[in-house]
A and B are shown apart, each in its own frame.
Chain A
């Protein structure tokens, strides 16, 4: 019944979650950071079975009547969540230590949310998918309100919570309609039954409601309005996690329901996601142009990126023939690369905001003259987000265009043109930050560096890993491409 080898990564992370909570009980106040070390060690150990599973001959290990599956998709995404958690913990150590309360619980919540993402990657029915999603969201609500003395942080958590509950309700209602029409909870069952009910309005409504539910999670326009306030109010490492881990979890959900469960009904989700993709790119980018606060800017940029990630969906469904795998691969590639560069961007925000004492873009002017290291990293990650070769972001956009233009028709060409224009618009606001840092004059008096020895070592380690990744993937995109290709095998069932 249980394949313990297959479940080892999830079990190890679950064990780590408990170990962190336990360690927190016994650690003295000034050593609380050791809880993060426990978490990082646990995550490292969890990577081992992922490697052995990938190397083993059984490519698909199915459990519980196919509800919980370990295949290449699950492994790639689990590894992604673990590495995301790794970086987020590294980014958090110095940050939460400065606040000095509830550090142990903080790491516990991050890891628990992460575990939810790992569960989602293996879920192949509606129930386990929903449980996984709630496990992602629940801890994230608490994390967003971490700075409890800060009104903005409270607002962030409250908005996030209310929207989260609303979207969960919509999602569940949609799932119940789908179940009612197809009589099945498993993705395979839904796909087989969907041919006979594809014309039924209730089934269509079910699919659309499920998409709306996930639309909130990935902050696609018009379900995005919570994101900027929540991102701005939450502690920055949490924002980094929300914009990468939590968003990736939403995409895991959308990918699974669209390409596996509703693989027989692309004519329903395709046009709907076409609209979401186009709106997210346009609205996200245009509003980002006006932002003065760096975190709000990145929030709108992440909305726009969600649009780019949705582009392949729209294309996959609108054209005839067997193009599902390539579109699936494109979105997975985009999610993986976006994770690297957006975590990098937030790591830079943490370091630069600490150095300048401000999150306003104009207060960063001249940063290049007194903090060149941070500024070079900022340039690297922001231009990668803009998609400028040879940084990793170009390949994400490239495969996105590749997916949308295969078997092109009028709709996909139009979407490709919208995406191309948006890529240009996006450059403007990323370049504005870079301009402020390198080209605008430094203030007459620069505040002394709060950390004369440079950035905290843990943050430095995160920087190092991400900077290397963003360059290596940019020059040798195959490093990510082959994982995405392996993961795309499940598209279409």
Chain B
């Protein structure tokens, strides 16, 4: 297995989906079965290699980059094909490979309109390469390429297969279809952030003479980046990552994109794409600019708790179930960012487990919302109700996942919120205790609000009697493809909840090493 350890393993995890996508191009459009099998095969190969990586991973040395390689790529600018994973990337890499497989399984006979499985699958596979690549890249230019690679497929996914409801925008006389508005908004927001992120990367390479993330992190730990320079660079990186997370007040693209996207698009957006931003903070911004991270940390913490409260309150104002789940992401990612802002091992470990948990739970919620829309043809909570009676299994799943989302102890969502709050009680030395303890209190109130809106949603959707308009309708409860896609997610919600070491076992040491290097 030497080939696996010296870079081929990770490269195959990243590029097998891309090869699958190119192979799909050759499949005739009418031959849907072949297209589906081919896509499933490519994503399964990618997932199994990611799992192999997890088993071969040396947990005793989780802070070191493993399975890595460094090959000359663009000598003209001094950028290399440098990859590798540590304990922070590993869970996210496995998560993204797994979600892709489950998305393809779910899609098996849930194709959004306009049909065209071939095109849809090609986009999913492109996304898979971009997402996995971002988690393994150890070179800033490579990171940037993968980070941007997810834009095009998601843009097309929302724009072509998205919601066709017309909306009226303030200031415009004509109505526009939601999908068109949401797709370009998503694209422009992200590109705006990443353009400045790129400027930050370039500035770092001028000062540091390298695009290599480990080398730059070493320089950062040695205190090479300081002063106005560091302030500006952190600001540029902040813009890029904060749009992606998204942090309040840069979040406005998110509810539109999530609501308009087809089910699988929402799942991938929520489960993986948002994590690219918070991962960027952990992998790039903090280790390379530790001193600057300290001075920005209180601001990030304040924005994070605003996001928590704002997200929860916004949820309470929604009538659309999918939009409610979208806003809940703003709040949950607020907890992740609060954890990161503490700059402590416990806080950042909280962020990593929070990212994985949010990926599984919110991904699952979007699956459920999509399947409900598929059956009811509406997402209006006022028209839903008594779901548990009409479809006991689906309703049960919804109840269970909502409980996980509100942070019930014993389920995955608990650890991220709990540890983030714990971390902000005692942030890194030198950070303002006042700000962080206030943040902790406000965040704790946020958990109550979170419970509030999720229970409110359950009450409206799941409980009570079915509305009269559904009388006489036959509803098909969870079908076999849905089972195949959902059971693994539900199992992992329980597994992470009961035994969080699945994630923290690798992440804990890696975070510790990262923090020791940056701050001590």
Contacts and interface: CB of A to CB of B under 8 A. Distances in A.
The yes or no verdict on A and B being binding partners is yes
Interface of A: 329, 383, 388-390, 394-395, 398-399, 401-402, 405-408, 413, 416-417, 420-421, 423-424, 427-428, 431-432, 435, 438-439, 476-478, 481-482, 484-485
A482 B72 CA distance: 14
Interface stretch (B194-202, B344-352, B372-380, B397-405): B194-202
21 contacts: A389-B148, A390-B148, A394-B148, A399-B77, A401-B202, A402-B202, A416-B199, A420-B199, A421-B192, A424-B188, A424-B195, A427-B188, A428-B188, A431-B155, A439-B183, A476-B73, A476-B74, A477-B74, A477-B77, A481-B76, A485-B76
A394 B192 contact: no
Given A402-B77, A438-B160, A478-B76, A388 B148 contact: yes
A398 B191 contact: no
Contacts of A383: 152
Given A389-B149, A398-B141, A398-B198, 20 more contacts: A388-B151, A388-B191, A402-B77, A402-B202, A413-B232, A417-B196, A417-B199, A421-B195, A423-B195, A424-B191, A424-B192, A424-B195, A431-B155, A435-B180, A439-B183, A476-B73, A477-B76, A481-B74, A481-B75, A482-B76
A413 B180 CA distance: 34
Contacts, number: 89
Nearest to A438: B160
Contacts of A405: 199, 202-203, 206
Contacts of A420: 195-196, 198-199
Contact of B160 (A401, A416, A439): A439
A427 B187 contact: yes
Contact of B184 (A329, A388, A423, A428): A428
Contacts of A388: 148, 151-152, 191
Q: Which size bracket describes the interface of B in this complex?
A: 20 to 34
In order of increasing CB-CB distance, the 5 nearest A-B pairs are A481-B76, A420-B195, A389-B148, A389-B145, A439-B159
Determine chain B's interface SS by DSSP, over half rule.
helix
Nearest to A426: B191
A406 B206 contact: yes
A390 B187 CA distance: 15
B156 interface: yes
B111 interface: no
B184 A478 contact: no
B373 to A, nearest CB: 20
A344 B144 CA distance: 25
B275 interface: no
Contact of B179 (A417, A439, A476, A484): A439
Given A438-B159, A485-B76, A408 B191 contact: no
Contacts of B191: 388, 423-424, 427
B156 A484 contact: no
A420 B184 CA distance: 18
A13 B48 CA distance: 57
A481 B77 contact: yes
Nearest to B239: A420
A435 B199 contact: no
Determine chain A's interface SS by DSSP, over half rule.
helix
Contacts of B155: 431
Nearest to A401: B202
B184 A431 contact: yes
A477 B145 CA distance: 12
B166 to A, nearest CB: 13
A388 B148 CA distance: 7
Residue among B76, B180, B184 facing the most chain A CB atoms (10 A cut-off): B76
A390 B77 contact: no
Nearest to B78: A402
B122 to A, nearest CB: 11
B104 to A, nearest CB: 22
B298 to A, nearest CB: 26
A478 B192 contact: no
A13 to B, nearest CB: 29
B161 to A, nearest CB: 10
Interface string B199-226: 1001100100000000000000000000
Contacts of A428: 184, 188
A349 B419 CA distance: 56
Interface string B134-165: 00000001001100110110011001100000
A360 B275 CA distance: 40
A441 to B, nearest CB: 10
Nearest to A483: B76
B80 to A, nearest CB: 12
A361 B183 CA distance: 19
Nearest to B145: A389
Nearest to B151: A388
Contacts of B195: 420-421, 423-424
Nearest to B156: A438
Nearest to B129: A390
Contacts of B148: 388-390, 394
B184 A435 contact: yes
A408 B187 contact: no
Given A388-B152, A401-B199, A420-B196, A394 B77 contact: no
A390 B76 CA distance: 17
A389 B191 CA distance: 11
A406 B141 CA distance: 16
Contact of B74 (A390, A432, A478): A478
